[in-house]
Amino acid sequence: MKKFRIGVIGFAHMHINSLVKCFADLGDKVEWAGCSDVKPLIPSISDKPSTRSYNMKNCMKITGMTRVYDDYAKLLDEGNLDIAIVCCENAFHGKVVSDVLLRGVNVVVEKPMATSMPDALLMAHAAKHGGAVLAVNWPSTWSPGIRLAHKLVSEGAVGKVFKFTYRNTDSLGPFSYGEGLSEEEMASEWWYHAKAGGGAFWDYCCYGSCLASWFIGSPVRSAYGVRANFNSPFGNAEDYGTITALFDDAVALIEGSWTTVNTGIPNGPIVFGLKGTLVTEGDEVRIYKDRRSKAPSEVYKAEPLPQDRNNIAKEFISHLENGTPLHPTLNLETNLNAMMILDAGYRSSVSNKLEQAKSCRYAPEKL
């Protein structure tokens, strides 16, 4: 049995804890070569749960790793890695992931793919030249309800789609789940600083961008974005963002918020077609076809995902070992299309104008 040697690069994003556990649960299938953090723009002053210091200690405990490198280049030189799990700051994805891929090391990076179209293209180009696989992990990928919704839409359950909507579930920010950080401590966390790729736009609008790309199935043409800071005075990143994305014959309305106590309605996806409307709520999918009726015409309950491919670790190892296709939301094509939405939306939020999407087909000749 082949063992996959894994290294961890970056502990900024708290999702590293669940990613590492998924791979650790594979037992003897994997061995841990070591880890390295990426130097932050803003040093954290806290070691409370979900901070980078806590994340590193927790991941080392989960995996039994003892080797810590002060530079991820040394880990790449000495680790003989098959896979690198990357969870550095969003703004560093372009450089770090490209460095790893060019070494021929396969990468799982936590969403979003990057914080600009040029960085995303750099990563795609590095994967091609390094002959390595890049997968962008999305927690939404592992939702049975969302997969069922996509299947029903693809089968024409609501007819031709003209509108897609998605917003995140209730959230008051990345440290609002009992971590107990003070405002001073949160001010030192990259999440609240735009230059590091922090903010609700990259944290949550990215979900809707990926799902819209998957559900609509064609590249975006233009987008209008808005960002605002309503309740996070300790940072310069937004805690609220929206994107209106225009496709050839459809529109996507995407919302990301760290300022919502309760949405009051399902976060979706909600898909509007010429024959009806589909509403996703957890593992239940409802379809409404009768005008003005509050009762759904059809109700579906999603089945659990197959046990052998119900998380990123199983899916990625299956792909590397057996050549099974990655789920569409993990692959380069969908994520480059998602980046077109995010990139245009972010540029629009700066210019206050509708921005045309940049093509994801262009690849730089030189890295």
Structure tokens at 285: 């999918």
Q: Poorest-confidence range of 9-13, 19-23, 168-172, 251-255?
A: 168-172
CATH number corresponding to 4-140+308-328: 3.40.50.720
Domain residue limits, the chain: 4-140+308-328, 143-305
Please answer whether residues 257 and 204 qualify as being in contact, where contact means their C-beta atoms are separated by less than 8 angstroms. Answer: yes
Phi, psi at residue 84, to the nearest 5°?
-120, 130
- Predicted confidence (pLDDT) at residue 362 exceeds the cutoff of 50: no
Phi, psi at residue 272, to the nearest 5°?
-100, 125
- The predicted model scores a pTM of 0.94
CA angle 269, 139, 199 (to 5 degrees): 85
Q: Could you tell me which residues come within 8 angstroms of residue 219 by beta carbon, excluding any fewer than 6 positions away?
A: 213, 247, 337, 340, 357, 359, 360
CA angle 180, 185, 190 (to 5 degrees): 110
Q: Where are the beta strands (DSSP E) in 92-219?
A: 106-110, 134-137, 161-167
The pLDDT tens digits for 24-46 are 999 999 999 999 999 999 899 99
Burial degree of 55 (CB within 10 A; 0-12, 13-18, 19+) = buried
68 DSSP 8-state letter: B
The pLDDT tens digits for 206-221 are 999 999 999 999 999 9
Confidence (pLDDT) at 360: 65
The pLDDT tens digits for 268-307 are 999 999 999 999 999 999 999 998 888 999 999 999 999 9
Domain 143-305, architecture per CATH: 2-Layer Sandwich (3.30)
Average pLDDT of 102-106? Answer: 97
